[in-house]
Structure 1
Amino acid sequence: MAQMPTALKLVLFLVMLSMIALLELAIIPRVHGPFRYVSEVRAKATHFRPTVSIDKFIPSPEEDLDDVQKSRLSAVRQAMVHAWSSYEKNAFGADEVGPVSGTRRQDVWGGIGVTLVDSLDTLYIMGMHDEFQRARDWVANEMDFSHLGKDGGTISVFEVIIRQLGGLLSAYDLSQDEVFKKRAVEFANMLLPAFEDNVFYTHYNVYAQTSKLTNYYWWQRGLLADFGSLQLEMRYLSDITGNPEYAAKGDAFYEVVRREGSYQNTGLFPIDFEPAYGTFAKTDSFITFGARGDSFYEYLLKVWIYSGKHDSFLRETYDAAVDGMERYLLVHSEPDDAYYLQELLIPSMEGSPKQDHLLCFVPGMLALGTLGETNATKVARHLDLAKKLMQTCYTMYSRQPTGLAPDMVEFPGYRVLESSYHLRPETVESLMYLYRITNDTTYREWGWHLFESLEKYAKTTHGYGTVHHVDDLKTYYIEDKMESFFLAETLKYHYMLQTSSSFLPLDKYVLNTEAHPLTINHAANKSKNVPS
């Protein structure tokens, strides 16, 4: 028998290897653990295939965790599975689902699928990739903005930028799927009429079809948090598109901040802005780190971090604000041995002894601001303040029989002024930052107590709902309301609190005010629009 030619042997050998490889692909099951993929053959040509190496997320969220921590991490993930599966079953593509009734609520924020888009990165981070794929395909094929404003309705520029645009940008950052970038650009372009060229502000509302603009109040004032909480998203969009217009539109408000300066050189700013004059309110306003002012201060720090710490004006303004907060807002309630941040009436500077839950982001902000800081005195002072305020925010929960915090309390005595818990994320957000910065496991334990209370008192058939009367076990009840930020923020922060600190590390990612992670631009990318 003649010998087979060497070249033919090689060809047959390669064919056999190929057949073995195909057989292995056919029998290996898809792995559902975080950040591991085996591709499935799908009919849709739009099927998502990750283009970022999974090494981006190594080490895994479970690295260095003991069995207790792994169990807790799994429990948080299951909470997301529970909330998302009900939304997907009953209200996929709608703005919200009713957690008690399972009702589809199509138009809460304009009918643009806010819960879906707000949840994209949480799905991805928790390894829920089949769910992420289906949501991705909806964004690619069904997300529609053309109806906005047709019936005279408006959309909140602030809310949709942090939720919708932020969600799209973070999904792009994590997956590198171009469809998210494309839809983000389309959405941002629709919002551009809200940014007028001749003044340094954005309008609170925009009629998307007619470009008609309005502000929050009938006398046409705007809010500090609204104008000062979109620069991170707009800068990121400019960076990934190469179009400087987005960053310029957002950064224009920082020119006002520099030109006007703080109120009476306190380092603090009124919550009301007079767009007609380009000035901050001098009367009938407040100074607060709580509602309507909060994320302006948060973004001074986070935009500086995102810039690679090149925009010194932002860090200087942030540090001055923290100094002003300590001097003018920080109060020690002696009967409670508790520190809280009052709000001040303008122009009298009279203090009000109340604190809202939104303000509980401050301990985390202070902790984040110490990361990489070389001034040891500043680090010690800011961390000490963060820990004191963190204790107060946690006590707002632990004093209640439900273990859930009221939306507002008054001192002394933590007297409940507003007894509802709206599934807000600020306290667990701060616990996550403080744990990661200090490595003190106390904050992890406190977070777990909060999560257990969520499971016991806020969980419903179709998700988790706002809890009313958190201070009374006899009268408490769950409202048929689940905000998108519960999936975007609250559960994500609980997850990050229980993971390894090297998972989504804080020196590589900055989270927007809706907890959407964006990769920090470490390049020397100093904005030309913000003076230093």
Structure 2
Amino acid sequence: MLRVIFLSGLLVVTRGAIQPSVTIPDTAAGYAQQVVDVFQTAYGAYLQYAKGHDDLAPVSKSFVDGRNGWQATVWDALDTMQLMGLDTLYDQALGLITNVNFTRSLTSDAAYRNHSVFESNIRYLGGALSTFELTGKTNTHLIDQVTVLTDRMAYAFDAGPVPFNEVDFSTDPPTAQFGTSNIAQVGTLTLEFSRLSVYTGNDTYRQLAENAVKAVMGQPTPLPGFPAQGIDPPTGTPDGDYVSWGGGSDSYLEYLLKYARITNNADPTFLNAWKQAVDTSIQYLLTQSSVGNWTYLTDFTGGAPFYISSHLACFHGGNWLLGGKLLNNDTIFNIGLKLVDACTNTYHSTPTGFGPEFFTFINVNGASSLTPSSDDLAFYDEHGFWIFPGETDYFLRPEVLESNFYAWRMTGDVKYFNNAVAALDSVTTYLKANAGYAGLNDVTNPSAGMIDDMESFFSAETLKYLYLTFSPFDKISLDEYVFNTEAHPYEAPVWTH
């Protein structure tokens, strides 16, 4: 049993298992194979129509180069292939990326010519590190390749400890682009940079990432211990007062906990910061809907709640479950389960079985941030939320299935298994496109058209979390691995603090 002790204001956590022992349903293997089939169809379409580029355009049977043209889909899918046992595809994939030139953006589209430190970190660096570990740490060429990339990403830190997110790779040395950033872009480097330091012997990467997070922690906050979403890299000061668990803040909060997990809480600063953000969220952001009593975390700005949530924010259920387990905190864990159920409800409430990009609600005291139309109110009265205007899309995102995976692995409650079965059925029924799979313009209307970009995270995250939900519990056990925000698993030590 995990025990929590406070010594000199520091959080100390003793050893305990994250996953219970569970016998999975007999049907699991069949569903796992269905996910493999979906992956092979998706990746096969990518090879046919988009090989050498970042993403498949599944409607037009073409390609999209949104990640500098370095074949993001291949890098992001490497560890998925490994986990699924697709050795032939994996060997072919290594051949496709062996000569990728990470010193220049390869896209001709001016909108994507600059380099995103955040996206390259979680996809390219993250995918390479995970694959390196899963294949016995023998393919040092992968490490060499992404070290070249990371050395150029490091120019984002030229102005100080808070990095810019946009870097111009067309110059030597690369040039950091001026402008505001957000805490997710700043704080989602620690897992990858620290792990690269281990495999290169260069501790500079770890120091850069840790110092960036601590610079965010050192700034004044709109709510106790919860940073504003926006940040100005040259000064390191907050930009605005918007507080959220959604996009722009999400993986900063995620990595506070996961960095503590992967380092065995060597520096308690990160775990303590996560716990303070959670405590603040319980006090200021936690609420229930007036219909269905669904549990939500609101956003917060201008000194008041903004009653909105999002698909991106729905990672929070799994994150709170992991933190609740590590801290042996039943309150956090049980709220995490309620957050998972509320996000899953957005899937169960639409004809397609997928939730929208953003949604809103009326809290138990009758407060809301938007006035619902009559149609919105009718939908709300049935489902306990309604779709934020203009945000009906589903972009193949993983977050709801991610949190559902954590709930299944930590409780063994078959309802979470069944949630994954329903989602897989929706994938095969509604997302099959002219080539591969595509997101939906309107989750309430499957005939409203599809989104012409099969982003690499579909293979890296959405399908991986589905596959692992149907896999034995010892396959990437949460007691042995921690996932980066792109679902790339890294080896994690036994939790002993």
TM-score (norm 2): 0.86
Aligned-pair identity (%): 29
Which residue, 298, 301, 314 being the options, matches 2:257? Answer: 301
CA distance in 2, matches of 1:159, 1:465: 20
Which residue, 343, 346, 350 being the options, matches 1:400? Answer: 350
Which residue, 130, 134, 147 being the options, matches 2:104? Answer: 147
1:522/1:387 CA distance change after superposition, 3 Å: closer
1:479/1:255 CA distance change after superposition, 3 Å: closer
Q: Conserved in 1, the CA contact under 8 Å of 2:76 and 2:459? A: yes
2:176 counterpart of 1:213: yes
Q: Conserved in 2, the CA contact under 8 Å of 1:149 and 1:209? A: no
2:205 counterpart of 1:246: yes
Corresponding residue number in structure 2 for 1:187? 149
Which residue, 482, 489, 493 being the options, matches 1:517? Answer: 489
Where 2:61 maps in the other structure, the secondary structure is: coil
Q: Conserved in 2, the CA contact under 8 Å of 1:306 and 1:522? A: no
Corresponding residue number in structure 2 for 1:90? 49
**More RCO (CA 8 Å, sep 6+):** 2
Query: What is the Cα deviation at residue 168 of structure 1?
Result: 1.1
Q: Conserved in 1, the CA contact under 8 Å of 2:74 and 2:93? A: yes
Q: Conserved in 1, the CA contact under 8 Å of 2:324 and 2:331? A: no
Which residue, 77, 84, 101 being the options, matches 1:119? Answer: 77
Q: Conserved in 1, the CA contact under 8 Å of 2:323 and 2:333? A: no
Residues 464-519 of structure 1 deviation map (CA, whole Å, 9 limit, x = unaligned): 1011111124x432222211100000000001111111111111111100001111
Which residue, 122, 127, 130 being the options, matches 1:162? Answer: 122
Corresponding residue number in structure 2 for 1:530? none
CA distance in 2, matches of 1:145, 1:90: 23
Residues 285-341 of structure 1 deviation map (CA, whole Å, 9 limit, x = unaligned): 310001111000000000110102222111111111110111111111122311111
Corresponding residue number in structure 1 for 2:233? 275
Which residue, 437, 443, 460 being the options, matches 1:464? Answer: 437
CA distance in 2, matches of 1:357, 1:66: 28
Q: Which amino acid aligns with 1:511?
A: F
Which 4+ runs in 1 deviate beyond 6 A? 149-152
CA distance in 1, matches of 2:303, 2:169: 39
CA distance in 2, matches of 1:502, 1:231: 26
Corresponding residue number in structure 1 for 2:283? 327
Q: Conserved in 2, the CA contact under 8 Å of 1:340 and 1:355? A: yes
Q: Which amino acid aligns with 1:357?
A: H
Where 1:206 maps in the other structure, the secondary structure is: strand
Q: Which amino acid aligns with 2:177?
A: T
CA distance in 2, matches of 1:214, 1:521: 37
* Structure 1 residues 299-378: aligned runs within 5 Å: 299-345=255-301, 348-373=302-327, 375=328, 378=329
Q: Conserved in 2, the CA contact under 8 Å of 1:114 and 1:484? A: yes
Unpaired stretches in structure 2, ≥5 consecutive residues: 1-21, 363-379
2:140 counterpart of 1:172: no
Query: What is the Cα deviation at residue 64 of structure 1?
Result: 5.4
Which residue, 425, 429, 437 being the options, matches 2:402? Answer: 429
Corresponding residue number in structure 2 for 1:31? none
CA distance in 2, matches of 1:515, 1:162: 9
Q: What is the aligned-residue RMSD (CA, Å)?
A: 2.0
CA distance in 2, matches of 1:270, 1:66: 44
Which residue, 334, 338, 341 being the options, matches 1:388? Answer: 338
Residues 402-431 of structure 1 deviation map (CA, whole Å, 9 limit, x = unaligned): 111111111032111211111100000001
Where 1:172 maps in the other structure, the secondary structure is: helix
1:64/1:415 CA distance change after superposition, 3 Å: closer
CA distance in 1, matches of 2:434, 2:444: 23
Residues 10-43 of structure 1 deviation map (CA, whole Å, 9 limit, x = unaligned): xxxxxxxxxxxxxxxxxxxxxxxxxxxxxxxxxx
TM-score (norm 1): 0.80
Q: Conserved in 1, the CA contact under 8 Å of 2:297 and 2:309? A: yes
Q: Conserved in 1, the CA contact under 8 Å of 2:243 and 2:299? A: yes
Corresponding residue number in structure 1 for 2:196? 237
Residues 422-455 of structure 1 deviation map (CA, whole Å, 9 limit, x = unaligned): 1100000001111111111111111111111111
- Mean Cα displacement is larger for which, 460-469 or 480-489? 460-469
2:454 counterpart of 1:482: yes
2:165 counterpart of 1:204: yes
Q: Conserved in 2, the CA contact under 8 Å of 1:139 and 1:180? A: no
Q: Conserved in 2, the CA contact under 8 Å of 1:149 and 1:207? A: no
Residues 210-229 of structure 1 deviation map (CA, whole Å, 9 limit, x = unaligned): 212114xxxx2211100011
Q: Conserved in 1, the CA contact under 8 Å of 2:121 and 2:189? A: yes
Corresponding residue number in structure 2 for 1:36? none
Query: What is the Cα deviation at residue 523 of structure 1?
Result: 10
Where 1:331 maps in the other structure, the secondary structure is: strand
Q: Conserved in 1, the CA contact under 8 Å of 2:398 and 2:465? A: yes
Query: What is the Cα deviation at residue 66 of structure 1?
Result: 4.5
Q: Which amino acid aligns with 1:397?
A: Y
CA distance in 2, matches of 1:114, 1:190: 18
CA distance in 1, matches of 2:184, 2:72: 20
Query: What is the Cα deviation at residue 258 of structure 1?
Result: 3.8
Query: What is the Cα deviation at residue 398 of structure 1?
Result: 0.7
Query: What is the Cα deviation at residue 189 of structure 1?
Result: 1.3
Considering only CA atoms, is the larger Rg found in Structure 1 or Structure 2? Answer: 1
Query: What is the Cα deviation at residue 102 of structure 1?
Result: 1.9
Q: Conserved in 2, the CA contact under 8 Å of 1:340 and 1:392? A: yes
